[in-house]
Amino acid sequence: MHSLSARLLVLTIFFVMLSEVLIFVPSVARFRVEWLNDRLSAAHLAMLVVDAAPNRAVGQMLKTELLTQVGAHAVVIRRADMRLVLSDGVPPAVDETFDLGAQGNLELVLDAVAVLGRRSDRIIRAIAPSPADPAISIELVLDEAPLRDRMIGYGLNIFGLSVVISLITASLVYISLHWLLVRPMRRIIGSMAEFSEDPEDARRIIAPSGGRDEIGVAEQQLAEMQRDLREALTQRAHLAALGTAVAKINHDLRGILSSALLVSDRLETSEDPDVQRLAPTVITAIERAVAMCSQTLDYVGQGTPEGRHERFALQPLVDEIKASMEAAAPDALQVENRIDEALQLSGDRDQIFRILNNVARNAAEAGATSLNVSARIQDGRIEIDLGDNGPGLPPRAQERLFQPFKGSARAGGTGLGLAIARELARGHGGDLELLSTGPDGTVFRLTIPAGTKDHGSVTKSAAPA
């Protein structure tokens, strides 16, 4: 009884038997009425014999034979001009009278149930119009015991037939459900168990049958889930290997960048105007790279790196991003800084730079030629909008926009830029979200809490977005 198949078999038998019980009582009631109607028809024939006899007188032997054929102690026939009585002596006392012509279906059912439940023999009177001639009324005085015996026999026959029908129906239902439901479910369960033993083995992913029913959909969903899990485990392994590699080269990379920083310091003494203009940007970029290397191990091992919160102006930070983008490719992306110079916020300056710089680089890689950056204070939060004029994000990229290795909109991309940017934004108590995208461009919004205990305060003046 622990298997689904056995439970289905038992439930099918139970419900079929329940259906048979619901139709059993009306069937028995109908059988009782038909049995009495047969007696009434026999009584009508018997009275025709009496009516045809000379002076309507019949011998005792014929009278007894007629009553035996009817199965009654006495028969009374009434019509407009005649009343005939056929009786073998004085009829016994009647215990109950039933007028079949005046009874409704419910009364007939209740009477039938009462007959089945009664154990004592009674004498009953049945009154009804003759089945052969409704103008003739017939009364029968007869024993109830033969009627009850015939009803019990009829009920046993119905019960036996119900058992046979139940077994046949249950077997057919069992076979159908086993083929359509149980067998595919066992296949799904087997695939799940086999896949759990080695999730990285692509051969253990279930092959959907291609059906359009619920089982087919379940197989497709299971296959997709197994593929996603295998891909996630593979990415996890790759990230673990990447973390190990980064840990090994972190020290050497920091040394190289430190040497580059020492050399770049000498650029500040150069008298070349172009060098003097670009030197601060180069030095700042190298210092930021050194800091990123220092935070790499903490980021991999502990999640989002803890930032150093400070109060700073947002406009100069965006100017640095503008200079960085122009230095990388002067004609690729033009950054328009619309942020009010009085707007300040509290947070990790380098991390805010990384967030905005990642969004800007994604816009450039997507084919945008301009990026408008604006900010405002709204409901105690600073909202920084970055809108480009690119071609927009494809639907698949939108579905997995902030998922590492899945949210890239270009071939060969990793999707790490926006994933890291959102994680850094949430580390500040804010968020990075996609506001809109389409042929006219894409708009991202960076939200940072304003004036909180943890994140400092901002000025109350800001340019409109």
> Are residues 319 and 298 part of one domain?
no
- Residues 165, 221 within the same domain: no
Task: Read off the pTM.
Answer: 0.43
- Does 39 reside within a domain? yes
With tokens 């009343």, the residue in question is 83
Of the three residues 303, 322, 344, the one that is the final residue of a domain is 303
How far apart CA 101 and CA 108 sit, in angstroms, is: 11
HSE at residue 44, side-chain half, CA atoms within 13 A, is 19
Amino acid letter, 8: L
Residue whose C-alpha is closest to residue 385's, from 442, 465, 324: 465
CATH number at residue 265: 1.10.287
Burial category of 417 from C-beta neighbours within 10 Å (exposed 0-12, middle 13-18, buried 19 and up): buried
Question: By the 8 A CB rule, do 43 and 137 touch?
Answer: no
Of 142, 169, 196, the residue at which a domain comes to its end is: 169
Whole-number Å distance between alpha carbons of 290 and 268 = 19
CB atoms inside a 10 Å sphere around CB 147: 21
174 part of a folded domain:
no
Residue 8 and residue 112 share a domain: yes
Q: Which residues pair with 445 in a beta bridge?
A: 385, 433
CATH number at residue 344: 3.30.565.10
> Is the domain of 41 the same as that of 77?
yes
Q: By residue range, what is the domain housing residue 429?
A: 310-465
pLDDT tens, per residue, the chain with 465 residues: 566 667 777 777 787 777 777 777 888 888 888 998 898 888 888 888 887 777 777 778 888 888 888 888 888 888 877 788 888 778 888 888 888 888 888 888 888 888 888 877 889 999 988 888 888 899 899 998 898 889 889 888 888 887 788 778 778 877 887 787 778 888 888 888 888 888 878 888 888 888 888 888 888 888 889 888 888 888 777 777 777 776 666 656 666 666 666 666 666 667 777 767 777 777 777 766 766 665 555 445 444 556 678 889 999 999 999 888 887 666 678 999 999 999 988 888 989 998 999 899 888 888 899 999 999 998 889 999 999 999 998 888 888 788 765 555 555 445 667 888 888 898 888 999 999 999 999 999 999 988 544 433 333 333 333
CB-count exposure of residue 445 (10 Å: 0-12, 13-18, 19+): buried
Q: Terminus-to-terminus CA distance in the chain, angstroms?
A: 68
Residue 426 near residue 304, CB atoms below 8 Å: yes
Domain count, the chain: 3
Residues 263 and 354 in one domain: no
Domain contains 402? yes
Q: CB of 349 within 8 A of CB of 310?
A: yes
Q: How far is CA 71 from the centre of its chain?
A: 66
Pair (216, 152) in one structural domain: no
Residues 361 and 229 grouped into a single domain: no
Strands 431-438 and 344-347, how do they pair?
Answer: unpaired
Q: Are residues 33 and 163 in the same domain?
A: yes
For residue 194, being part of any structural domain is answered with no
**In the block, which residue shows the tokens 């994680």?**
423
Domain termination site, one of 115, 148, 169: 169
Looking at the structure, tell me whether residues 414 and 429 fall in a common domain. yes
